[in-house]
Chains A and B, each alone.
Chain A
Amino acid sequence: MILGFALSFIAMIAGGLFGRHLAISQVGRTGETGSAGPNRAHSLPKFHGYMLAWHIGFAALGLLALHGFRRDLLSTPWLIAGLALTTLLAALHSRRIIKPELRARDYVERYVRISLLLCSAVAVLTTFGIVLSLIFESARFFEKVSFLEFLTGLQWSPQTAIRADQAGQSGAFGAVPIFAGTFMIMAVAMLIATPIGLMIAIYLSEYATAKVRGIVKPFIEILAGVPTVVYGFFALLTVGPAIRGLAESMGFAVPTQSAIAAGSVMGVMIIPFISSLSDDVINAVPQNLRDGAYALGATKSETMTQVIFPAALPGIMGAILLGVSRAIGETMIVVMAAGRAANLTGNPFEAVTTVTVQVVSLLTGDQEFDSAKTLAAFALGLVLFVITLILNVIALLIVRRYRERYE
C-alpha cells in the first residue's frame, strides 16, 4: 500500500515532467515560440505537465482503491504493473492531445477542484465508515443476543462467553449496569465541572482584569491540554487513595477504584471545556443588555444572574450538553480509575464500570472476531456513538440558534 502510494507519486512527477517537456518541445519554454498565430500556446507548458500528472494521479487513485478493497482482484504485483501501464498509456495519450491550443490550465483548474472535493469527502467517508462498521458488527452481535435483553438486562458478565462449548454458559449481556455506571460517573463529573466551569467563565468575562485573564487563561488551557491518560494515572495514584484514606478516617471502607474518584477527576478534565464554551456564550450577550441593567442600578452579580444568565442559558445548556457527551465518551480515566466489574449500584463510593471501559476490556487481549464477547464491544460502541451524536447535534443546534439570535 505504501509502496503503491510512493510509486504513484513518482509516476505523477515523471508524467508531469514528461508533459511539460512535450509542451516545451512544441511551443518553447514560455509558450510563445510562434509569438502569434497558430503556434501560440493557450497555457504555459507547466500546465500541460500538471494535467498529465493529474491524469496519472486519478488513475492511480482508482487502482489503489481497488487494491485496498479487493486485494483478491488486484494483488500487489498487478498493482505495480497497472501503475506502470497507466503511466505509459497516459504518456502515449498525451502525445496525441498536447498541442499549443490545448486549454491545459482550465483542465488543471477543474482537476484541482475535484481533488479538493475528494479531500472534504474524507470527512463524510469517515462518518460513513464509523456508522457502517458499528451497525454491521452490532447486527452480528444482535443475531446472538436479543436487542431487548441487551438494553434491559440487569446482568453483565461477558467473560463467561469465552467458554462457548459449555452449554448454558453463554454469558450475560444485559447492559443496564453499564449504562447506570456511565451515568453515575458522568453525573459526578458534571456536578463538579458545571458550577466550577461556569463560575470561571463568569468571573473571567465579567470581573477579571485583563491581567488576571492573561494569567488564568493559559492555566485553564494547560488543564485542557493534559492527556486523559495522565488524568487517569492521577486518579489512580493520588485521588483514589486520597478518597479512600479520607473515607477510612471517617469509618467507611471505600475501594481505591470508585465512581467518585474517576468522576471527580473527569470533572476537572471537563472544567476547561465548560468554561471556554460558556465564556464565548456570555461574551456573545449584547453589551446593551448589561448597560440597561446597570442603568437600573443592578449590581454586577444581579446583572449576571437575572439578565445575562437567562439570556445566555440556551448557549450554556449547549455547553453542558457537549460536556456530558465528552464525559460519556471519555475512556482512559475510567479505564484506569473506575473498575471493570459491572455493579448495579447507586452508591458513588463503589466501583462501577462504563461503556468505554467495557469496550476497552472486551477488545484488548486475545480476540476471536466472531465471539459475542468481541461483537458486544461494537454494540456498546454503537450505543455510545448514537447517544453522543444526539447530544452533539442538540448542543450544536442550540448554540447555533442562540448565536443567530444575537447577531
Chain B
Amino acid sequence: MSDATPPETTSIHQSADAHKLLRKRRRRERGFRMMGMSAIVMAMCALTWLLISIVGTGYTAFYQHQMTIDVVLDETVLDPNGTRDPDELRKANFRRIIQNTLYARFPDITDRRARQDLFKTVSASGATDLVRQMVYKTPSLIGQTLTLEVPTSDDVDQLLKGYIDREVSEDRRKLSDQQIKWVDELVASGEVHARFNWAFFTATDSRDPELAGIAGAVAGSFMALLVAFVVAVPIGIGAAVYLEEFAPENLFTDIVEININNLAAVPSIIFGLLGLAVFLNFFGMPRSAPLVGGLVLALMTLPTIIIAARAALRAVSPSIVDGALSLGASKTQAVFHHKVPLAAPGILTGTIIGMAQALGETAPLLMIGMVAFVTEIPTSITEPASALPVQIFLWADSAERAWAERTSAAIIALLVVLLSMNALAIFLRSKLERRW
C-alpha cells in the first residue's frame, strides 16, 4: 500500500483539513481553559463583592458622632425636696436636664415644636442614662455643671456620615432643614465631633441604634462555645480513639461509622429541632440559655471533631504504639501516653475549625430561643442570652440605615474572629505537624 502512495503528497497530518481541525481543537482547548479561569474569577468576584459591600456599609459604625454639652445639674429639677434619696434620684427628670441644656445652647429658640426638633438631635436615652448613672453614683454632683460627651441621635450621625442626602426635599428626609442647620453649627464650633465607637464593643443590644453594641451577644456566644467545647472535645476525642484503636469489627461499629458520616451532613436546623424537643421540652432546660445552645452546637460539631481526630490518629506512625506495647505498656497506656499526644496538633486543628463553624451557626440557636432581646450581659450559662450571629440576624431585620451599618460592623467583628481562628488552625497545623 505504501508503494502506491505518491511521494509528493504530504501526510494527512499536514493537510489543510488537518490544520483546520488542529486550529479548532486548540481553540476549544483555550476556550475550556478560559472557562476554568472565569469560574475562579467569578467565585473570587462574589467573595470580593460580599466583603466590599459589608466592609463598605460597616466601617462607619466604628466611629460615632458625639456632642459635647454643658449639663447643669439643676437641683430644682432633680431633687426639689433636697433629700438626695437614691430612689427618688433614679426617678428624677433627667430628660428635662438634657432638654434645658440644649435650650440653653440655643436660647433664641422658643417655639415648642422647634425645641422638640432640637432635642431630637441628641440621643435622648443615651444622654439621660449617662447623666442618671453619674448622679446616682455621686449625688454630690447635683448643683454643679458638667461637660459631657453624649452620643448624637442616629439620624444626625447618619447625616454627618453622609448617608442622608441634603439635596432631597425636606419632607422626604429624616432631618429637617432647621435641624441640619443646628448640626452644622455645632460641627463648625467643634461641639459635635467624631469619636471611636467604644460603645459598640462594650454596650449590649438596645432599641436605639446609636446605643446598641455587641458585648452581650459576644458574651453569649463565648459561653455557648465554651459549653460546646467542654462537651464536644472530650466526647469527640473519646469516640475517635475508640473507633481507631479499640472498636471491634462488628455491627455496632458499622452503625456508629455510618451515623457519624450522616450526622456531618444533617442540616443544622434539625439539630435545633432536636434541642427544642429534647433539651427544652423533655429535660426542661431553660429557654434561650447558652447552656442549651452550647449543647446543640456540641452535638453539631461532634462529627467534625471525630472525623478530624480520626484522621490525626491515623497519621501517627503505628511503630510508636508498637514500641510502647513492646516495653510493657498496656493498650490504653500506649494509646493515651503516646499516640494521642502525637496526634494532638491535628486534633487541635480540627477542634478549632469545628468551633469556628459552631461560632458562625445561627439556625439551631433560633430554634432554642436564643433570639431574645437581652439588654444585659449574661453572667451565667443558664441565663437568657443572645449570640453574635443571632444578633446579626436580629439587627438585619431592621430597615433603618443605622441598623444596616451596625449589622455590617457586627459581621466584620464575627468574620475577624472566624478568620483568626482559621488562621490559628492553619498556623498550628504547619507549626506542630509531624510527618513520619
Contact = CB atoms under 8 A, between A and B. Distances in A.
B71 interface: no
Give the bracket for the number of chain A residues in contact with chain B. 35 or more
A398 interface: no
A123 B303 contact: yes
Interface in B384-430: 389-390, 392-393, 396, 404, 407-408, 411, 414-415, 418-419, 422
A116 interface: yes
A268 B25 contact: no
Interface stretch (A77-85, A150-158, A228-236): A228-236
A124 interface: yes
A198 B277 CA distance: 39
Contacts of B267: 325-326, 328-331, 356, 384-385, 388
Contacts of B369: 364
Contact of B396 (A116, A198, A233, A301): A233
B15 to A, nearest CB: 16
Interface in B246-277: 246-247, 255-256, 259-263, 265-271, 273-274, 276-277
Nearest to A365: B371
A229 B392 contact: yes
Interface residues of B, number: 93
Given A127-B259, A237-B53, A329-B266, A117 B242 contact: yes
A331 B269 contact: yes
B246 A113 contact: yes
Contacts of B260: 123
A209 interface: no
B369 to A, nearest CB: 8
Given A223-B47, A389-B262, A109 B332 contact: yes
B239 interface: yes
A335 B237 CA distance: 34
Interface in A186-227: 195-200, 202-204, 207, 216, 219-223, 225-227
Nearest to A202: B36
Interface stretch (B119-127, B192-200, B203-211, B356-364): B356-364
A364 B242 contact: no
A8 interface: no
A133 B277 contact: yes
Given A229-B389, A332-B363, A119 B234 contact: yes
B360 A116 contact: no
Given A237-B57, A385-B266, A123 B26 contact: no
Given A2-B291, A225-B422, A233-B411, A133 B278 contact: yes
Interface in A34-85: 68-69, 71
A392 B260 CA distance: 12
A284 interface: no
B270 A329 contact: yes
Contacts of A406: none
A115 interface: yes
Contacts of A199: 35-36, 38-40
Interface in B324-352: 330-332, 336
Nearest to A305: B32
A384 B247 contact: no
A204 B291 CA distance: 43
A335 B272 CA distance: 15
Contacts of A119: 234-239, 242
Contact of B247 (A2, A120, A204): A120
Nearest to A385: B270
Contacts of B236: 119
A247 interface: no
A130 B36 contact: no
B281 A268 contact: no
Interface of A: 1-2, 68-69, 71, 105, 108-109, 112-113, 115-124, 126-127, 129-130, 133-134, 136-137, 195-200, 202-204, 207, 216, 219-223, 225-234, 236-238, 268, 271-272, 275, 299-302, 304-305, 322, 325-326, 328-332, 335-336, 356, 359-360, 363-364, 369, 377-378, 381, 384-385, 388-389, 392-393, 396
28 contacts: A1-B285, A68-B283, A105-B330, A116-B238, A116-B246, A119-B238, A122-B302, A123-B259, A123-B263, A123-B302, A133-B274, A136-B277, A197-B39, A199-B35, A203-B39, A223-B46, A225-B419, A225-B422, A227-B360, A229-B390, A229-B392, A233-B408, A237-B53, A300-B32, A301-B28, A336-B393, A363-B366, A381-B270
Interface of B: 25-26, 28-29, 31-33, 35-40, 42-44, 46-47, 49-50, 53-54, 57, 234-239, 241-243, 246-247, 255-256, 259-263, 265-271, 273-274, 276-278, 281-285, 291, 299, 302-303, 306, 330-332, 336, 356, 359-363, 366-367, 369, 371, 381-382, 389-390, 392-393, 396, 404, 407-408, 411, 414-415, 418-419, 422
Given A230-B392, A232-B396, A237-B407, 15 more contacts: A108-B332, A119-B234, A122-B299, A126-B302, A133-B282, A227-B418, A230-B50, A234-B54, A300-B33, A325-B265, A332-B363, A360-B366, A360-B367, A388-B270, A392-B262
